[in-house]
Protein backbone atom coordinates (compact mmCIF):
# COMPACT_ATOMS: atom_id res chain seq x y z
CA UNK A 1 0.00 0.00 0.00
CA UNK A 2 1.35 3.43 -0.94
CA UNK A 3 2.64 5.71 1.82
CA UNK A 4 1.44 8.76 -0.10
CA UNK A 5 -1.48 10.58 1.51
CA UNK A 6 -2.53 13.74 -0.30
CA UNK A 7 -4.01 15.39 2.78
CA UNK A 8 -0.82 14.85 4.74
CA UNK A 9 1.34 15.97 1.82
CA UNK A 10 -0.64 19.20 1.57
CA UNK A 11 0.26 19.97 5.19
CA UNK A 12 3.97 19.28 4.78
CA UNK A 13 6.39 22.17 4.61
CA UNK A 14 8.29 22.27 1.34
CA UNK A 15 12.02 21.73 1.86
CA UNK A 16 12.73 23.45 -1.46
CA UNK A 17 10.72 26.62 -1.15
CA UNK A 18 9.43 29.41 -3.35
CA UNK A 19 11.69 32.34 -4.10
CA UNK A 20 14.20 30.46 -6.22
CA UNK A 21 15.14 31.83 -9.64
CA UNK A 22 14.59 28.84 -11.89
CA UNK A 23 13.07 29.65 -15.27
CA UNK A 24 9.30 29.58 -15.62
CA UNK A 25 8.35 26.07 -16.67
CA UNK A 26 11.60 24.48 -15.42
CA UNK A 27 11.06 20.82 -14.52
CA UNK A 28 14.04 20.65 -12.14
CA UNK A 29 12.20 22.51 -9.39
CA UNK A 30 9.18 20.24 -9.76
CA UNK A 31 11.38 17.15 -9.53
CA UNK A 32 13.21 18.56 -6.51
CA UNK A 33 10.07 19.40 -4.55
CA UNK A 34 8.61 15.96 -5.22
CA UNK A 35 11.80 14.25 -4.08
CA UNK A 36 12.04 16.40 -0.95
CA UNK A 37 8.38 15.71 -0.11
CA UNK A 38 9.39 12.03 -0.12
CA UNK A 39 11.90 12.44 2.73
CA UNK A 40 10.75 10.37 5.76
CA UNK A 41 12.26 12.74 8.36
CA UNK A 42 12.73 16.40 7.28
CA UNK A 43 14.88 17.04 10.37
CA UNK A 44 17.50 14.54 9.30
CA UNK A 45 18.44 15.18 5.67
CA UNK A 46 21.42 16.74 3.91
CA UNK A 47 21.37 17.85 0.28
CA UNK A 48 24.51 17.78 -1.86
CA UNK A 49 24.24 19.73 -5.12
CA UNK A 50 26.48 19.63 -8.17
CA UNK A 51 27.06 22.85 -10.10
CA UNK A 52 24.25 23.50 -12.57
CA UNK A 53 21.35 25.82 -13.36
CA UNK A 54 19.30 24.51 -10.43
CA UNK A 55 22.19 24.91 -7.99
CA UNK A 56 22.76 28.49 -9.13
CA UNK A 57 19.07 29.43 -9.24
CA UNK A 58 18.30 28.00 -5.81
CA UNK A 59 21.10 29.68 -3.87
CA UNK A 60 22.00 33.16 -5.07
CA UNK A 61 23.96 34.64 -2.15
CA UNK A 62 22.80 35.80 0.34
CA UNK A 63 19.52 34.00 -0.37
CA UNK A 64 18.57 30.34 -0.50
CA UNK A 65 15.42 28.39 -1.30
CA UNK A 66 16.62 25.36 0.67
CA UNK A 67 15.19 24.69 4.14
CA UNK A 68 17.67 21.90 4.94
CA UNK A 69 21.48 21.66 5.27
CA UNK A 70 22.86 22.08 1.76
CA UNK A 71 26.31 21.99 0.21
CA UNK A 72 27.45 23.16 -3.22
CA UNK A 73 30.02 21.16 -5.19
CA UNK A 74 31.85 21.41 -8.45
CA UNK A 75 30.51 19.55 -11.47
CA UNK A 76 32.82 16.61 -10.89
CA UNK A 77 32.70 15.84 -7.16
CA UNK A 78 29.14 15.78 -5.81
CA UNK A 79 29.14 12.00 -5.28
CA UNK A 80 32.58 12.15 -3.64
CA UNK A 81 31.36 14.86 -1.26
CA UNK A 82 28.24 12.80 -0.43
CA UNK A 83 30.54 9.88 0.39
CA UNK A 84 32.49 12.09 2.79
CA UNK A 85 29.32 13.45 4.38
CA UNK A 86 28.10 9.92 5.07
CA UNK A 87 31.42 8.82 6.59
CA UNK A 88 31.66 12.00 8.70
CA UNK A 89 28.23 11.43 10.22
CA UNK A 90 29.06 7.77 10.86
CA UNK A 91 32.16 8.88 12.77
CA UNK A 92 30.15 11.44 14.74
CA UNK A 93 27.56 8.80 15.57
CA UNK A 94 30.27 6.41 16.80
CA UNK A 95 31.54 9.18 19.08
CA UNK A 96 28.04 9.89 20.40
CA UNK A 97 27.93 13.40 18.94
CA UNK A 98 24.84 12.65 16.80
CA UNK A 99 22.20 9.97 17.24
CA UNK A 100 21.68 9.04 13.59
CA UNK A 101 23.14 9.42 10.13
CA UNK A 102 20.86 11.68 8.06
CA UNK A 103 19.40 10.81 4.69
CA UNK A 104 21.78 12.13 2.04
CA UNK A 105 20.36 13.26 -1.30
CA UNK A 106 22.48 14.38 -4.23
CA UNK A 107 21.11 16.43 -7.13
CA UNK A 108 23.03 16.81 -10.38
CA UNK A 109 22.31 17.70 -13.98
CA UNK A 110 23.36 15.60 -16.96
CA UNK A 111 26.58 17.54 -17.48
CA UNK A 112 27.66 16.96 -13.88
CA UNK A 113 26.48 13.36 -13.88
CA UNK A 114 26.64 11.74 -17.30
CA UNK A 115 29.91 13.43 -18.25
CA UNK A 116 32.06 15.36 -15.76
CA UNK A 117 30.89 13.65 -12.56
CA UNK A 118 30.64 10.06 -13.83
CA UNK A 119 33.99 8.99 -12.37
CA UNK A 120 33.22 10.04 -8.78
CA UNK A 121 29.66 8.71 -9.05
CA UNK A 122 30.83 5.32 -10.28
CA UNK A 123 33.45 5.15 -7.54
CA UNK A 124 30.95 6.02 -4.80
CA UNK A 125 28.50 3.40 -6.03
CA UNK A 126 31.23 0.76 -6.33
CA UNK A 127 32.19 1.46 -2.69
CA UNK A 128 28.54 1.11 -1.65
CA UNK A 129 27.94 4.50 -0.03
CA UNK A 130 24.44 5.07 1.28
CA UNK A 131 22.87 8.00 -0.56
CA UNK A 132 20.26 8.80 -3.19
CA UNK A 133 21.59 10.45 -6.33
CA UNK A 134 18.95 12.21 -8.45
CA UNK A 135 19.90 13.12 -12.01
CA UNK A 136 17.65 15.84 -13.42
CA UNK A 137 18.34 15.36 -17.12
CA UNK A 138 17.70 18.37 -19.34
CA UNK A 139 19.82 16.93 -22.15
CA UNK A 140 22.53 19.63 -22.31
CA UNK A 141 24.75 22.00 -20.35
CA UNK A 142 21.92 24.48 -19.88
CA UNK A 143 23.67 26.44 -17.11
CA UNK A 144 26.57 27.49 -19.33
CA UNK A 145 24.84 28.12 -22.66
CA UNK A 146 22.99 25.04 -23.97
CA UNK A 147 26.05 23.04 -25.07
CA UNK A 148 25.63 19.38 -26.02
CA UNK A 149 26.27 16.73 -23.36
CA UNK A 150 26.48 12.95 -23.34
CA UNK A 151 22.74 12.97 -22.63
CA UNK A 152 21.79 15.06 -25.67
CA UNK A 153 19.70 12.94 -28.06
CA UNK A 154 20.62 12.36 -31.70
CA UNK A 155 19.90 15.24 -34.15
CA UNK A 156 19.11 17.74 -31.39
CA UNK A 157 20.23 21.33 -31.87
CA UNK A 158 22.49 22.85 -29.23
CA UNK A 159 24.96 25.73 -29.43
CA UNK A 160 27.76 23.18 -29.95
CA UNK A 161 25.81 20.82 -32.23
CA UNK A 162 24.61 23.34 -34.76
CA UNK A 163 22.21 22.63 -37.57
CA UNK A 164 23.17 23.25 -41.19
CA UNK A 165 23.16 21.78 -44.68
CA UNK A 166 25.83 19.22 -43.80
CA UNK A 167 25.27 18.37 -40.11
CA UNK A 168 21.69 18.03 -38.75
CA UNK A 169 22.46 18.62 -35.07
CA UNK A 170 24.17 16.16 -32.73
CA UNK A 171 25.19 13.03 -34.60
CA UNK A 172 25.76 10.68 -31.65
CA UNK A 173 23.25 8.75 -29.55
CA UNK A 174 22.80 9.64 -25.89
CA UNK A 175 24.68 7.81 -23.16
CA UNK A 176 22.53 5.16 -21.37
CA UNK A 177 23.36 6.43 -17.89
CA UNK A 178 20.71 4.51 -15.93
CA UNK A 179 21.83 1.22 -17.49
CA UNK A 180 25.45 2.10 -16.72
CA UNK A 181 24.62 2.63 -13.05
CA UNK A 182 22.50 -0.53 -12.91
CA UNK A 183 25.45 -2.49 -14.33
CA UNK A 184 27.32 -1.84 -11.08
CA UNK A 185 24.93 -4.39 -9.59
CA UNK A 186 24.62 -2.94 -6.07
CA UNK A 187 22.45 0.17 -6.56
CA UNK A 188 18.70 0.68 -6.66
CA UNK A 189 18.07 2.37 -10.02
CA UNK A 190 14.91 3.92 -11.43
CA UNK A 191 13.80 6.29 -14.17
CA UNK A 192 11.15 8.90 -13.48
CA UNK A 193 9.19 11.75 -15.03
CA UNK A 194 7.59 14.78 -13.33
CA UNK A 195 4.48 14.03 -15.41
CA UNK A 196 3.97 10.95 -13.21
CA UNK A 197 4.47 12.55 -9.81
CA UNK A 198 3.27 9.64 -7.68
CA UNK A 199 5.59 7.21 -9.45
CA UNK A 200 8.49 9.63 -8.95
CA UNK A 201 7.75 10.04 -5.22
CA UNK A 202 7.41 6.30 -4.64
CA UNK A 203 10.79 5.74 -6.27
CA UNK A 204 12.39 8.58 -4.33
CA UNK A 205 11.23 7.07 -1.03
CA UNK A 206 12.52 3.65 -2.11
CA UNK A 207 15.87 5.18 -2.98
CA UNK A 208 16.12 7.05 0.32
CA UNK A 209 15.24 3.97 2.37
CA UNK A 210 17.47 1.57 0.43
CA UNK A 211 20.53 0.64 2.50
CA UNK A 212 23.14 1.43 -0.10
CA UNK A 213 23.54 3.56 -3.20
CA UNK A 214 20.42 4.57 -5.12
CA UNK A 215 20.08 6.43 -8.41
CA UNK A 216 17.07 8.07 -10.04
CA UNK A 217 17.27 9.30 -13.63
CA UNK A 218 14.51 11.91 -14.01
CA UNK A 219 13.76 13.54 -17.34
CA UNK A 220 13.72 17.31 -16.90
CA UNK A 221 12.35 19.14 -19.97
CA UNK A 222 13.96 22.57 -20.38
CA UNK A 223 11.74 25.11 -22.14
CA UNK A 224 14.73 27.38 -22.76
CA UNK A 225 17.02 24.77 -24.28
CA UNK A 226 14.41 22.50 -25.85
CA UNK A 227 12.54 25.48 -27.29
CA UNK A 228 8.94 25.04 -26.15
CA UNK A 229 6.55 27.34 -24.20
CA UNK A 230 6.80 27.17 -20.37
CA UNK A 231 3.25 25.88 -20.03
CA UNK A 232 4.08 22.70 -21.96
CA UNK A 233 6.68 21.20 -19.61
CA UNK A 234 4.51 18.43 -18.20
CA UNK A 235 3.02 17.64 -21.62
CA UNK A 236 6.51 17.18 -23.06
CA UNK A 237 7.58 15.08 -20.05
CA UNK A 238 4.53 12.86 -20.48
CA UNK A 239 5.06 12.43 -24.23
CA UNK A 240 8.62 11.29 -23.57
CA UNK A 241 7.14 8.33 -21.70
CA UNK A 242 4.22 7.74 -24.06
CA UNK A 243 6.53 7.54 -27.09
CA UNK A 244 9.00 5.32 -25.16
CA UNK A 245 11.74 7.89 -25.71
CA UNK A 246 12.05 7.80 -21.92
CA UNK A 247 10.40 4.64 -20.53
CA UNK A 248 9.86 4.23 -16.80
CA UNK A 249 11.44 1.26 -15.02
CA UNK A 250 13.23 0.06 -11.89
CA UNK A 251 16.24 -2.14 -11.19
CA UNK A 252 16.28 -4.16 -7.94
CA UNK A 253 19.87 -4.95 -6.88
CA UNK A 254 18.69 -7.65 -4.47
CA UNK A 255 17.10 -9.76 -7.21
CA UNK A 256 19.07 -8.30 -10.16
CA UNK A 257 15.73 -7.82 -11.93
CA UNK A 258 14.41 -5.02 -14.13
CA UNK A 259 10.73 -4.08 -13.84
CA UNK A 260 8.59 -1.71 -15.91
CA UNK A 261 6.66 0.94 -14.02
CA UNK A 262 2.86 1.14 -14.58
CA UNK A 263 2.82 3.82 -17.35
CA UNK A 264 5.34 1.90 -19.46
CA UNK A 265 3.98 -1.51 -18.49
CA UNK A 266 0.62 -0.46 -19.95
CA UNK A 267 2.35 0.21 -23.27
CA UNK A 268 4.14 -3.14 -23.13
CA UNK A 269 0.80 -4.89 -22.62
CA UNK A 270 -0.91 -2.88 -25.34
CA UNK A 271 1.61 -1.69 -28.00
CA UNK A 272 -1.11 0.37 -29.68
CA UNK A 273 -0.71 2.87 -26.82
CA UNK A 274 2.84 3.66 -27.93
CA UNK A 275 2.82 7.01 -29.72
CA UNK A 276 5.14 7.77 -32.67
CA UNK A 277 8.29 9.68 -31.76
CA UNK A 278 7.27 12.45 -34.18
CA UNK A 279 4.63 13.65 -31.69
CA UNK A 280 7.38 14.24 -29.12
CA UNK A 281 9.85 15.84 -31.53
CA UNK A 282 7.51 18.31 -33.21
CA UNK A 283 6.78 20.14 -29.93
CA UNK A 284 10.45 21.03 -29.47
CA UNK A 285 12.22 23.79 -31.37
CA UNK A 286 15.55 21.98 -30.99
CA UNK A 287 14.18 19.49 -33.56
CA UNK A 288 12.49 22.09 -35.79
CA UNK A 289 15.02 21.45 -38.57
CA UNK A 290 13.57 17.95 -38.94
CA UNK A 291 10.26 19.45 -40.07
CA UNK A 292 11.17 22.61 -42.00
CA UNK A 293 11.91 23.91 -44.55
CA UNK A 294 11.28 20.30 -45.57
CA UNK A 295 10.42 17.28 -43.49
CA UNK A 296 13.38 14.95 -42.96
CA UNK A 297 11.60 11.61 -42.96
CA UNK A 298 14.96 9.79 -43.01
CA UNK A 299 16.22 11.42 -39.80
CA UNK A 300 12.91 11.05 -37.99
CA UNK A 301 12.89 7.37 -38.99
CA UNK A 302 16.42 6.98 -37.58
CA UNK A 303 15.32 8.42 -34.24
CA UNK A 304 12.29 6.13 -34.23
CA UNK A 305 14.60 3.21 -34.94
CA UNK A 306 16.78 4.15 -31.95
CA UNK A 307 13.74 4.40 -29.69
CA UNK A 308 12.31 1.08 -30.85
CA UNK A 309 15.64 -0.68 -30.39
CA UNK A 310 16.13 0.62 -26.85
CA UNK A 311 12.51 -0.17 -25.96
CA UNK A 312 12.81 -3.76 -27.21
CA UNK A 313 16.07 -4.19 -25.29
CA UNK A 314 14.34 -2.96 -22.13
CA UNK A 315 11.46 -5.38 -22.67
CA UNK A 316 14.00 -8.21 -22.85
CA UNK A 317 15.66 -7.06 -19.62
CA UNK A 318 12.23 -7.05 -17.97
CA UNK A 319 11.48 -10.54 -19.25
CA UNK A 320 8.73 -9.36 -21.59
CA UNK A 321 8.77 -10.89 -25.07
Whether residue 11 has pLDDT greater than 90: no
pLDDT confidence tier of residue 153, bands split at 50, 70 and 90: very high
Structural domain span for residue 202: 6-317
Summarised one tens digit per residue, pLDDT across range 219-277 is: 999 999 999 999 999 999 999 999 999 999 999 999 999 999 999 999 999 999 999 99
Per the rule left: phi > 0, alpha: psi between -120 and 50, beta: everything else, 251 is beta
Is residue 1 in a domain?
no
Is residue 270 in a domain?
yes
Whether residue 49 has pLDDT greater than 90: yes
Whether residue 36 has pLDDT greater than 80: yes
Assign residue 146 the CATH number of its domain. 3.40.50.970
Summarised one tens digit per residue, pLDDT across range 95-151 is: 999 999 999 999 999 999 999 999 999 999 999 999 999 999 999 999 999 999 999
Is residue 122 in a domain?
yes
Is residue 218 in a domain?
yes
Whether residue 196 has pLDDT greater than 90: yes
Is residue 50 in a domain?
yes
Mean pLDDT computed over every residue of the chain: 96
Is residue 75 in a domain?
yes
Spatial neighbors of 239 by CB under 8 A, at least 6 apart, are 245, 275, 279, 280, 283
The domain tally of the chain equals: 1
- pLDDT number for residue 1: 60
Amino acid sequence: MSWINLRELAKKRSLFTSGHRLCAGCAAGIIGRLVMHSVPDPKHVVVVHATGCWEVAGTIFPYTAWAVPWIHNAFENAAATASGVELAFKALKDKGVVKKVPDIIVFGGDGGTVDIGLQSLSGAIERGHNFLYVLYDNNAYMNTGIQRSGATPRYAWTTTSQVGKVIPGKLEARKPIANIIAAHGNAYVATASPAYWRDLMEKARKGIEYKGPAFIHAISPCCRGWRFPPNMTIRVAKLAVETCAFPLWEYDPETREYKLSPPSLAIAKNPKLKKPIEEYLKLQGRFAHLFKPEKREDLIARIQEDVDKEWNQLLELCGIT
